[in-house]
Structure 1
């Protein structure tokens, strides 16, 4: 496979500003991600002393997986004090959007690159956000149907979605297999189809919880590259986090103030606020079968879904006895993650790195140094057929990925249409308006008749617009093959008005190119890049 870089123009230029070390952006982070000296400095920071305990917890969490020697070596390296490159994501259906796999791939790629450059083991770690409870975000995905040249939504259906976090949710295996069958029915069959399908069936049969099934899939794909996994909701991990949970509770006012003051400073730099939250406590608690947000009213900590309330001592006791009932919100989760690990670099998506820019003072409040914050690799797969269609219609891949094809599609239709016909209709509209302007002079003193004329005029003008619209629609029908090809380009490179990796599913790519397509060696030479990557299979 070939790998090329592409310079896409983002609306806010945020990642480009990171790449160029612009102070407007870098002032909100501890380290400048674009400078090599940042990595040297970060690697020299002392460890937190939790690495051995953490390695035991991770080994316990991964115990039911068949670990590769690369993973076992990395667990040992972690215990011996190796630093990590880390990132995380929600557990999406069948791996979720492609960017989840791209994030894991980014973690592996950067950790390998740093290990070689600094001649020291750097361990890749993927954090599964199992404490999240918005099931509607993870219960569906999309498959590209080649025959219809369109994306089809595939959803896991249940009458009893979880009110708590997804780590506690056990899906119905038959329903999950039905969703899997639906997904594969939409795709074309290839030489890889049976292997990918059977891998998924085996994983569904082996694991029970939603996040464990997700873990099983990403393990099967990335195990040979030494990646380690941990679920944020894993009980043994929560036991480790007890001291920090207590500190967060005690320092809730300072944390909230630090976060909100940074947001204000960020908006003063013409940078939009990313985190929207009303809480002043920044912790959740599992109560009455639901994950509920805590908020302090000056006397008690109250919940957002039930009438239950707690004193601070109540919560401190719960943290001590049942820490697995406590979880973080978007403000405190990054700090907890970095308090646990000796991190060189955190890898996040475009939105993540923007909201991390609002948290530097929160890190400082809890005496945790923010690591280097890196944007993940952004990748688009350019199929040979799509490349051929781009050439056929003289389309720029940069323009299509960024803006789609609608403007070019409409231009194509207009070129096939009769300009004389359209011009005549437009001329009729002008004549119509002139006629009605004359009629208005006869009723200028009669308000009711003026309204009547305006309404009647608009009806006729709408009919002319309708005539042109239906005429062009007939042109589209006469050029159905081209319309399907424009739709294919759009659904492949600019689906739902955005990037391919935000909609397409990794199973689609594996079905076309094999399970090992996400290997760091599949498309050399590949080094970490701030630019968009185009993979030509």
Structure 2
């Protein structure tokens, strides 16, 4: 197995600087993952912070056990859950939306990071540290998770999707997907995947994940359990009703102290901006940073004239009515991106949280809120990043002398340079010579026509421009004809580009993992799980 490190600049400057340990970001996070002292401090705080707000550990264990039984998780996951009975057990936690058939590759990498980090720190601390994957089933953006992209043999990026089943703006975990819709998606995936020795088993497992009227969240959880349960990965849906009951206490505090929450978020935003960065999330002075479920919808609340209401005025609650509702019906509440980090720390003994670049950036806005509510931001661990390069792709890159940086930074220039090297006729140079000779000889003649009259001079200018245009046209056609001699090479280079930077984005942010599992089985996934790889924020290239 060959894995190379590669510096791929992160999409968020704040995340890039955080990983690098830049002085500018140190005040925005209480810990840094590369500091041994930070880990010691976090462990000590978790062990000694008497009276900190936290959910009942035994009830949490029961909720986790029940949920993981329902999704058919592995025995090792139940061993992880059992370990949480011990107050000394800690957790590495991270989450993602419930994407179709596992979502993008980065979701798999987040799970791998959780497992790698939990294993590493269990060994270093000499105590149990369990990996927990928090599924953001409460999110309502169905169009963000209802599809996947796969690169076909015809070099087309194909989109496979499930249509919204109801049209209602409610949590993904509450939207039923019909058996017919699941079958249509599976059939589309089947047609996209090439025939291999692994295909039948892969499709069989996916079909099992969508049985019994599964929602996208259900199917996602079952699939992730199939892939990672044997490594002890515990799964939980953020919208699980039984989990909501454990959250009631913090929901109540977030309502009672809602203005204080807004002030804390605004203070952190000021610190982020003062450090020279843009705020990754929109912070509203009157935002409640909580959703409520009503009339079949997930509605974002804000404070207006002493009451809580949504943008369209569908619901209205006094502070006391909302507080009572949180205690009586906590399952009717939902967090937003600013309160979910607090709820995660309230529920779990979070040693560290695994985040992608965008998440690292918006978590910087929560530092003050953590402190105001008697919590402490956990250690922020950057999610592992990988680019998978197959053997044929590597051979083509070597054949045409393309480095990974060439593909990412200067693909078109490099491709054109290679084509130019094949041009023994020196077409660009010779056409430029012809145009220069023509201009040099024709321009003086046109200028002299002005002595006759301006109309003839203007006609001469137009004539010269048309002749140059025709020469350019011939050059373009000659270049096209010349390139057809290298159609095979161009197709190979295009396959390289589409593999590494589809839609001009990192591969991991576009493609689904099923195509790779279909071509190579799950051996490559186990290799990434079983091989100790530092969780250091460095992008890595994995040669399949």
**Please, what TM-score do these two structures have when normalized by structure 2?**
0.89
* Corresponding residue of 1:353: 360
3-state SS of 2:28 partner:
coil
Any conservation in 1 of the 2:13–2:277 contact (CA below 8 Å)?
A: no
Deviates more, 1:480-489 or 1:311-320: 311-320
Any conservation in 1 of the 2:80–2:130 contact (CA below 8 Å)?
A: yes
Deviates more, 1:177-186 or 1:153-162: 153-162
3-state SS of 2:514 partner:
helix
Deviates more, 1:4-13 or 1:39-48: 4-13
- CA offset digits 1:46-80 (Å, max 9, x no partner): 35463222111111222213343311211111122
3-state SS of 1:293 partner:
strand
In the aligned structure 2, how far is the partner of 1:265 from the partner of 1:171? 43
Any conservation in 1 of the 2:132–2:234 contact (CA below 8 Å)?
A: yes
Deviates more, 1:68-77 or 1:131-140: 68-77
Residue 300 of structure 2: which of 284, 293, 305 is its match? 293
- Unaligned 5+ runs, structure 1: none
In the aligned structure 2, how far is the partner of 1:442 from the partner of 1:145? 61
Number of equivalenced pairs = 533
* 1:126 equivalent in alignment to 2:136: no
The RMSD of aligned alpha carbons is: 3.1
Any conservation in 1 of the 2:289–2:335 contact (CA below 8 Å)?
A: yes
In the aligned structure 1, how far is the partner of 2:521 from the partner of 2:124? 30
* Corresponding residue of 1:8: 8
Distance verdict in 2 for CA 1:425–1:76, change over 3 Å: same
In the aligned structure 2, how far is the partner of 1:437 from the partner of 1:343? 82
* Corresponding residue of 1:25: 25
Any conservation in 1 of the 2:382–2:535 contact (CA below 8 Å)?
A: no
* 1:220 equivalent in alignment to 2:229: no
Distance verdict in 2 for CA 1:139–1:455, change over 3 Å: farther
| Aligned-pair CA distance for 1:315 | 1.4
3-state SS of 2:91 partner:
strand
Superposed, 1:437-516 pairs within 5 Å as 467-515=474-522
| Aligned-pair CA distance for 1:480 | 1.2
Residue 396 of structure 2: which of 389, 400, 412 is its match? 389
**Please, what TM-score do these two structures have when normalized by structure 1?**
0.91
* Corresponding residue of 2:270: 264
| Aligned-pair CA distance for 1:478 | 2.7
* Corresponding residue of 1:73: 79
Distance verdict in 2 for CA 1:394–1:50, change over 3 Å: same
In the aligned structure 1, how far is the partner of 2:421 from the partner of 2:367? 54
| Aligned-pair CA distance for 1:492 | 1.2
| Aligned-pair CA distance for 1:517 | 3.6
Any conservation in 1 of the 2:32–2:379 contact (CA below 8 Å)?
A: yes
Deviates more, 1:51-60 or 1:272-281: 272-281
* Corresponding residue of 2:51: none
In the aligned structure 2, how far is the partner of 1:421 from the partner of 1:58? 69
* 1:236 equivalent in alignment to 2:251: no
Distance verdict in 2 for CA 1:419–1:359, change over 3 Å: farther
* Corresponding residue of 2:256: 250
Distance verdict in 2 for CA 1:468–1:181, change over 3 Å: farther
Distance verdict in 2 for CA 1:475–1:323, change over 3 Å: farther
- Unaligned 5+ runs, structure 2: 48-53
Any conservation in 1 of the 2:28–2:367 contact (CA below 8 Å)?
A: yes
* Corresponding residue of 1:178: 184
* Corresponding residue of 2:50: none
* 1:313 equivalent in alignment to 2:320: yes
In the aligned structure 2, how far is the partner of 1:109 from the partner of 1:66? 22
- CA offset digits 1:117-169 (Å, max 9, x no partner): 111100100000011111111111111213x1332111223564442110101
| Aligned-pair CA distance for 1:441 | 11
Any conservation in 2 of the 1:54–1:79 contact (CA below 8 Å)?
A: no
| Aligned-pair CA distance for 1:464 | 5.9
In the aligned structure 1, how far is the partner of 2:324 from the partner of 2:158? 49
